[in-house]
Structure 1
Amino acid sequence: MSKKTLPGVTRRQILSFTAASAVLGAAKAANAVTLKGTPVWSPFDASPPPQIDMDGWAFFTDAEAAAMEAIVDRLVPADNLSVGGKDAGCAVFIDRQLAGFYGTYARLYMEGPFQDGTPEQGDQSPLVPQQRYRLGLAALDKYSQSQHQKLFKDLPGDQQDPILSGLESGKIALDGIDSKLFFAIVLKNTLEGFFADPIYGGNRNMVSWKMLGFPGARYDYREYVGKHNQKLDLEPLSISGGDAWKMKS
């Protein structure tokens, strides 16, 4: 190729023109791909909370729901600081989670082989949460009837507590499911329901956040950054938004 340039045009100018053309070409391509017809971003695009457009229970039967409400009320008992687990919506939270992808472990690898592992390896059960609750709640009522001739929900608290403690320690065996495995997921999900954002069905009226003084998902904390060890008394906000999300000028 000839190294000659056009009259009055230097090599530096040619290189500059080439670079500019490349930038413009890339900009046009980017505009066509990323700026035209791009959907508007909205919260939860990647992981939306379960949308349950119905009254009542989405996964639990009425009998299962009654047992669950009794359980969560013992795990999170009402006191002078907050309402109990039932009134806080913990059972509703669990029901909504089981009706969504969590209930089937749809986002986890669940192909075998399944073998008992070491404690460090964590949960190795092939049962998904929906199965754990269905089997566990049925077995819990069966045990309660065999020992007290009543369903778990109908027992007084001083009889419910030893049963839950027995499940936690493994001293009480359940038919069809490991009692410690069942108790562990119920306790974990109950606490999640008590402290999670209300958009997921639990933490009704933000009861736990108000108890802790947690301000929630506020949009702008700049005016509070320098305030240390002070009680701010901020009304908590859900991630669904509110007036406090508006940026201050």
Structure 2
Amino acid sequence: MDKNDSDRLYFHRRELLAGAAYLMLGLSKAHATIIVDHLPWTPNAGNPPAAALPGPWVFFTVDEGSAMEALADCIIPPDPQTPGGKDSGSAVFIDRQLAGPYGRQDGLYVRPPFMKGTKSQGQQSEKGPAQEYREGLAAFDRACKARFGGKAFADLSDQDKDTVLKGLESGDFKLDGTDGKAFFEQVIKDVQMGFFADPIYGGNRDMVAWKMIGYPGSRYNYLDWVNRHNERFPLPPVSMTGRAEWTPQTR
């Protein structure tokens, strides 16, 4: 190959690479124009969470649901600004969780030997969350009725409710066949989780907990606020399903 042939080949390669670069840039620009005015995907399109539907109890019986709502209101009492655990839907959150994959032990340890795990190991019980709640609430109901002349926990005065919960916390109020202290600790965690979870799961109704603490929720991005510290975010919170006022109302 002489020098002229070599030069021609060199320029052909340069033209080819340049053409490919222009093509890629052109495609990039075309693609950018496509997504300027709308998103090229829908939220949670790959693995959408199942929304908790309103309505009657799915897992709890009526008596169990009443006990859980009373417990939720004791753990998170209402005040003039924010609803308590009951009206925020914390008991509904637990009900839907126990009726779903969590209650069925999906992803939890289900093979023997069953031993008490460390905090980092999570749930290690053979019974699973649904059975533990069912047995714990039944033992809780029996203990309350035995102590307070046949009254269920939901029917007790506020003072008596506090007495029961303090007894559970200290271990003095015993539940037959159930570790009352461990049961109460689990209820506290689950009520708190329902209070602060995304409303799609049944709790945090109207995003009341997020409004209380100033949490902005599941917004698309916060790029304009990355370097702005100690400033209150001025926009209202958004859940995974958006905001109620964004949905066209049908009459």
Deviation at 1:197, TM superposition (A): 0.5
On the 8 A contact 1:50/1:100 being kept in 2, the answer is no
Which residue is equivalent to 1:74?
74
Residue deviations 1:180-223, cap 9 Å, x none? 22112211110000000001000011011000011111112122
Which residue is equivalent to 2:230?
229
**For the residues of structure 2 that align with 1:138 and 1:50, how far apart are their CA atoms?**
28
Which residue is equivalent to 1:88?
88
> What are the residue-to-residue correspondences of 1:29-48 with 2, within 5 Å?
43=44, 45-46=46-47, 48=49
Residue deviations 1:114-149, cap 9 Å, x none? 234567766543221111111111111111111111
Structure 1: runs of 5 or more not aligned: 1-7, 9-39
**For the residues of structure 1 that align with 2:141 and 2:229, how far apart are their CA atoms?**
50
Whether 1:161 aligns to 2:162 is: yes
Which residue is equivalent to 1:29?
none
Which residue is equivalent to 2:62?
62
Which residue is equivalent to 2:127?
127
> What are the residue-to-residue correspondences of 1:111-150 with 2, within 5 Å?
111-116=111-116, 123-149=123-149, 150=151
Which residue is equivalent to 1:218?
219
Q: 1:51 to 1:122 in 2, by over 3 A?
A: closer
Q: 1:47 to 1:106 in 2, by over 3 A?
A: farther
Q: TM-score, normalising length from structure 2?
A: 0.74
SS in 1 for 2:239: coil
Whether 1:196 aligns to 2:197 is: yes
On the 8 A contact 1:199/1:240 being kept in 2, the answer is yes
Q: 1:199 to 1:118 in 2, by over 3 A?
A: closer
Structure 2 letter corresponding to 1:129: P
**For the residues of structure 1 that align with 2:173 and 2:146, how far apart are their CA atoms?**
12
Which residue is equivalent to 1:187?
188
Deviation at 1:232, TM superposition (A): 2.5
Deviation at 1:172, TM superposition (A): 1.8
**For the residues of structure 2 that align with 1:162 and 1:190, how far apart are their CA atoms?**
19
Identity over aligned pairs, percent: 49
Q: TM-score, normalising length from structure 1?
A: 0.75
**For the residues of structure 2 that align with 1:138 and 1:118, how far apart are their CA atoms?**
27
SS in 1 for 2:103: helix
Q: 1:172 to 1:242 in 2, by over 3 A?
A: closer
Deviation at 1:243, TM superposition (A): 10
Structure 2: runs of 5 or more not aligned: 6-40, 247-251
**For the residues of structure 2 that align with 1:159 and 1:100, how far apart are their CA atoms?**
33
SS in 1 for 2:181: helix
Q: 1:47 to 1:188 in 2, by over 3 A?
A: farther
Q: 1:200 to 1:158 in 2, by over 3 A?
A: same
Which is worse superposed, 231-240 or 202-211?
A: 231-240
On the 8 A contact 2:108/2:123 being kept in 1, the answer is no
